[in-house]
Chains A and B, each alone.
Chain A
Amino acid sequence: EDQVTQSPEALRLQEGESSSLNCSYTVSGLRGLFWYRQDPGKGPEFLFTLYSAGEEKEKERLKATLTKKESFLHITAPKPEDSATYLCAVILPIDKLIFGTGTRLQVFP
């Protein structure tokens, strides 16, 4: 069965305290992995797409990496405005997108 798991479930950081979020997947036929940010009551906002092991993408304080079994979202020197739920999702054949369980990040000043 295709499965996507994220850890930790929740993360509290002090402003400036760098950390990493994990996304582990067991799927047949990975066509790509996405990272999204979601604020309460809003739709997911696209951050990154990764297609192959070894690939890395960066945007401001965020950096996403991909291996054959997992992806990491590294947050460097986070700010309170980075507080949100971070979702990873994998795209399977037949154009099916499956989301992970999400990590709720809170950054305190």
Chain B
Amino acid sequence: DTEVTQTPKHLVMGMTNKKSLKCEQHMGHRAMYWYKQKAKKPPELMFVYSYEKLSINESVPSRFSPECPNSSLLNLHLHALQPEDSALYLCASSQEGRYGYTFGSGTRLTVV
């Protein structure tokens, strides 16, 4: 299995809702990442987990809460989001960063 699987593919949520994005990889990669991508912009790093521990938080608002339950799973919990948080959320994994990242297909999030 050489894929990163993200669910759901599409999500519409209200500003008072709580939802979660899920990401799974079975390549034995030690690091997992969340990126946010707005339309016609490059992906922007949000969080990095290395060996299941949060190693980088790019000053992301607390309404985004990451969780890494085990080495294969990565969640992003969402609460009280704003319409400007609407974007494509990408998950990625790597064994050793300099050898390449594998990206999932993303979750298209719309906040209404």
Contacts and interface: CB of A to CB of B under 8 A. Distances in A.
Contact of B43 (A46, A49, A99): A99
For the complex of A and B, list the 10 residue pairs with the smallest distance between their C-beta atoms, beginning with the closest: A99-B42, A43-B103, A95-B97, A32-B98, A31-B98, A43-B105, A44-B103, A43-B106, A91-B97, A91-B98
20 contacts: A31-B98, A32-B99, A34-B100, A41-B106, A42-B106, A43-B105, A44-B43, A44-B90, A44-B103, A46-B102, A51-B98, A87-B42, A91-B98, A94-B56, A95-B31, A95-B55, A95-B56, A95-B94, A99-B42, A102-B40
B86 to A, nearest CB: 13
Interface string B74-96: 00000000000000101010100
Contact of A49 (B99, B102, B105): B99
Contacts of B99: 32, 49
A95 B48 CA distance: 9
Contacts of A95: 31, 48, 50, 55-56, 94, 97
Interface of A: 31-32, 34, 36, 41-46, 49, 51, 87, 91, 94-102, 104
Contacts of A51: 98
Interface residues of B, number: 29
Contacts of A94: 55-56
A3 to B, nearest CB: 12
Contact of B88 (A34, A41, A101, A104): A41
Contacts of B33: 97
A40 to B, nearest CB: 9
Given A95-B50, A98-B45, A43 B97 contact: no
A32 B99 CA distance: 8
B9 to A, nearest CB: 9
